[in-house]
Amino acid sequence: MSAQGTPTTAGRTAGVSQGTTKETPKGAWTVTFLLFLFMLVNFADKIVVGLAGVPIMTDLKLEPEQFGLLGSSFFFLFSISAIVVGFIVNKVATRWVLLTLAVIWALAQFPMVGTVSFTTLLICRIVLGAGEGPAASVAMHAVYKWFPDEKRTLPTAILSQGSAFGVILAVPMLNWIIVNHSWHYAFGALGVVGLIWVCAWLIFGKEGPLENTRVLAATETKIPYVQLLTSRTFLGCVAATFGAYWALSLGLTWFTSFIVKGLGFSQSDAGWISILPWVFGATIVILTGWISQVMMARGYTTRISRGVLGSVPLIIGGLILATMPYVPGVGLKIVMLVVGPGLCGAIYVVCPPMLGEFTPASQRGAILAIYGALYTLSGIIAPNVMGTVIQRSGSIVDGYMTGFTINAVIMIGSGLLGLLLLWPNTEKARLTRGPAPREAELKGAVSPT
């Protein structure tokens, strides 16, 4: 970019060069929609414990620290599983890996239909987490086999929307089951939905034609993993998304409980309020995907159209969340809690495409998985921290406010790190010791080979 903020000639040339590389194959959007539903089920599975938090704590007589442990248990094997499966999809078709993951999700829900102990619930959540750990990275890797680099931001946003819609659509239905029947049946309903997706994927799911996994593994020039994993853009993506996922994991585990116990709403009302962050977040995700793709088409470098676009909302969101304890009235507190963490959604849209810019396609599955495994470590820490802070505070409300303030500080710090480190448009040339960054952009080097 020039000093005036307009795209340079080099930037425009890069955009034109990228835009003529490959066409989107027929069937790409059908698979994208199925993977959107895949992510929808994924997040519905995640939210159910947080949504049923108060009934679960009441029935099983759990303290806040124990419930925090339950929320964290989902992530015990999450990262390990993500890394292992990430290397598997470098060589195995994503179609069958996705099918296996969905079967695990469904089967992990059914034990909760009957009377369960805290230990059984804990084990089932650990198993579910192991099945869901690789989900996002494998789904992204699968959809990138259908779209060239310059067209990946929008499908990435759509996949990210699966998380929001998984909550928006699931919360009213699951909460109705919880209020009118039992939290046990909410788990069973999710198991059935998971099996329905498995059947649909068996019929319509296909492997993308733009990349042949086996051919790429045998012929593509590799970059040493140590170079990929220590690149500043990879580190920036991990740092930025770590803060965003801290907010998300608190939303999954503690948001509904805060609305009931901290703000005094009923379980029925809390179910509807719990939708608001996801509606707002869905808007942010779609806008980010659209704006990013428009900026790239107009010649902006991916440093601006992805790196800056994803990092700045994190910082702003953290500042908004930091004001929540000090605003008057319940309504304003809810607004701050919705808007602040909701802005984090931007980073999920831009980081996978940024990593795809400089990672060889035959290594992309592993890199996306390791990225996911590292940033989701905050999912282990955040629910436990909140539970500990609540239990050791003078009052429940004070505990929640302290926990959300910690979240705000982490969001601001991670956003600043992202702003500092995310330079994907120069990363590939540096990693391959290719031409200087300006010359690389003129040659369209920001597009993966």
68-105 burial, b for 16+ CB within 10 Å, e for fewer? bbbbbbbbbbbbebbbbbbebbbeebbeebbeebbeeb
CB burial of residue 218 (10 Å; 0-12, 13-18, 19+): exposed
Q: How is residue 242 written in tokens?
A: 């770590």
**Amino acid letter, 330:** V
- pLDDT of the residue at 34: 94
Q: Tokens 């059984």 label which residue?
A: 120
Q: Tokens 């964290």 label which residue?
A: 72
**Amino acid letter, 364:** R
Angle ∠(191,383,316) on CA atoms, nearest 5: 105
- Residues 122 and 73 sit within 8 Å (Cβ to Cβ): yes
For the chain, residues with pLDDT lower than 70 are 1-22, 211-220, 433-449
Cα–Cα dist 280/105, whole Å: 27
Residues 6+ apart with CB under 8 A from 345: 160, 164, 244, 281, 282, 284, 285, 288, 313
Closest CA to 355 of 293, 421, 441: 421
The alpha carbon of residue 201 and the mean position of all alpha carbons in its chain are separated, in whole angstroms, by 21
- pLDDT of the residue at 344: 93
Closest CA to 434 of 423, 443, 218, 231: 443
Q: How is residue 216 written in tokens?
A: 């790429």
pLDDT tens, position by position, 295-352: 998 999 999 999 999 999 999 999 999 999 999 989 999 999 999 999 998 999 899 9
- pLDDT of the residue at 6: 39
Cα–Cα dist 137/85, whole Å: 9
- pLDDT of the residue at 104: 94
- Residues 446 and 435 sit within 8 Å (Cβ to Cβ): no
Specify whether the backbone of 359 is left (phi greater than 0), alpha (psi in -120 to 50) or beta.
Answer: beta
Domains of the chain: residue spans and CATH: 27-207+222-442 (1.20.1250.20)
- pLDDT of the residue at 217: 59
- Residues 213 and 348 sit within 8 Å (Cβ to Cβ): no
Specify whether the backbone of 330 is left (phi greater than 0), alpha (psi in -120 to 50) or beta.
Answer: alpha
pTM over 0.75: no
- pLDDT of the residue at 170: 79
Q: What is the largest CA-CA distance in the chain?
A: 66
The mean pLDDT of the chain is 85
